Copies of this chain bind each other. A is one copy, B any other.
Amino acid sequence: MRTIEWHNGTVKTINQLKLPYKTEFLELKTCNEVAEAIKTMKIRGAPLLGAAAAYALALTAYHSKAKRREELIRELEEAAETIKNTRPTAVNLFWAIDRIMNKARAFHGSVTDLAFFVVDEAEKIAEEDANANRSIGKHGASLINDGDTVLTHCNAGALATVEYGTALGVIRAAAEQGKKVRVIATETRPKLQGARLTAYELKRDGIPVTLICDTMVGYVMYKRMIDKVIVGADRIVRDAVINKIGTYQIAVLAKEHGVPFYVATPKSTFDLTRKSAEVIIEERSPEEVTYIGAERIAPKGVTALNPAFDVTPLKYVSAVICEEGILYKGDLSTLKPKTAERK
């Protein structure tokens, strides 16, 4: 099943805030509805944000009443701004918007042709992400041994992408090859994507998964229960991987325990002209920390930090798995991946 789909001017996706309690589908018809769903994290996961951003432009183009090409371009530019102002850290959103806008501006044809071109391009971005995940899975599976226990953080699964998943795609591909893989999933406070989404996806697939609190990562590594760590990424810059808060400390612990730390992510997440210091780390509402769901867990008036992401310097990363192959230490600068097998 796809996490996001286009149906004649409607974007259908799942409300990820309601999982695993309830499977509620959203039917989004405007760019503003997509923007709201991204801001509130009903839609989340870097690759999925890329597809959702693309579809937001597709909705704008499809429903536009513009009579002239320039008018539609102006509407698309407004929509692009709206989407770019939702969440600052995952680069896929900006990448998808820029890709469509650059092509739209260069497009020569009628306003109707341009509208259909934008919709087609959004469909292409979604399709490419699904394919990229399958390739990531195939390459990454070569790193997984039969009997491995893999720790993953947050959700880099089908729900974070258009289909199949990045980190969970690697685990799925290994399982499909007949390897026995067990997963230890961190619950991933504050938004609990590990407990809610990763546990849900793996359980549905019949891949054995054990949930731990974020406090227990050191313990399971100390106990030699973890063979590998695989996580996704929100942005890969020249010097670091930027991913869900908590990733960095898992990487430090992996290094301390000699556990390989892999990042599985499509090239749409690469932003290799920038360094980590240039990236805005989104700070979200302190209430995400002081409340869990509707329940307040701290005394009234206590302040909290809530950075949504952290920065893992490349020295902690054993390899980056992308759709073109595996980038080991040093390969990221040259972008010459090793392929797991000939295509």
CA distance A95 to B246 in the complex (A): 37
A307 to chain B, nearest CB (A): 6
The B-contacting residues of A in range 127-182, CB under 8 angstroms, are: none
Residue of B at shortest CB range from A256? B252
Q: Which residue of B lies closest to A301 (CB)?
A: B203
Q: How many copies does the complex hold?
A: 2
Taking CB atoms, residues of chain B closer than 8 Å to A328 are none
Interface 9-residue window, one of A61-69, A209-217, A227-235, A262-270: A209-217
CB nearest to A290 among chain B residues = B211
Report whether B252 and A220 are in contact in the complex, using a CB–CB cutoff of 8 Å: no
Of A42-50, A112-120, A194-202, A331-339, the stretch lying at the interface with chain B is A194-202
Q: Is the CB of B188 within 8 A of A215?
A: yes
Checking B21, B184, B188, B292 against A292 with a beta-carbon cut-off of 8 angstroms, the contacting residue is: B292
Contacting pair B196 A310 (CB below 8 A): no
Q: Choose from B188, B250, B303 the contact partner of A211 (Cβ within 8 Å).
A: B303
Known contacts A248-B222, A249-B249, A295-B295; A213/B189 CB under 8 A: yes
Decide yes or no whether A280 CB sits under 8 A from chain B: no
Residues of A284-301 at the interface with B, using a CB-CB cut-off of 8 Å, are 286, 289-290, 292-299, 301
Q: How far is the CB of A243 from chain B (nearest CB, A)?
A: 11
| Interchain CB contact under 8 A, A304 and B252 | no
Q: In the bound complex, do residue B210 and residue A303 qualify as a contact, i.e. CB atoms below 8 Å apart? A: yes
Query: What residues of chain B lie closer than 8 Å to A293, measured between beta carbons?
Result: 292, 295, 297
Q: A26 in the interface, Cβ–Cβ < 8 Å?
A: no
Which residue of the partner chain, among B222, B253, B292, contacts A297 with CB atoms under 8 Å? B292
List chain B residues, Cβ under 8 A from A310: 216, 218-219, 222
The answer to whether A187 and B289 touch (CB under 8 A), given A200-B299, A203-B301, A298-B20, is yes
What residue in chain B is nearest A245 (Cβ atoms)?
A: B215
Among the listed B256, B298, B304, which residue makes an inter-chain contact with A196, where contact means beta carbons less than 8 Å apart? B298
Q: Are A307 and B189 in contact (CB under 8 A)?
A: no
The 8 Å CB contact of A307, one of B216, B249, B295, B299, is B216
With a 10 A CB-CB cut-off, give which of A190, A289, A302 has the most chain B CB atoms: A302
Contact A214 B195 (CB under 8 A): no
Question: 14 extra interchain contacts, Cβ-Cβ under 8 A, other than A189-B215, A200-B299, A203-B302?
Answer: A187-B297, A196-B297, A199-B299, A210-B304, A211-B290, A211-B298, A211-B302, A211-B303, A215-B244, A215-B246, A218-B248, A219-B249, A256-B256, A293-B295
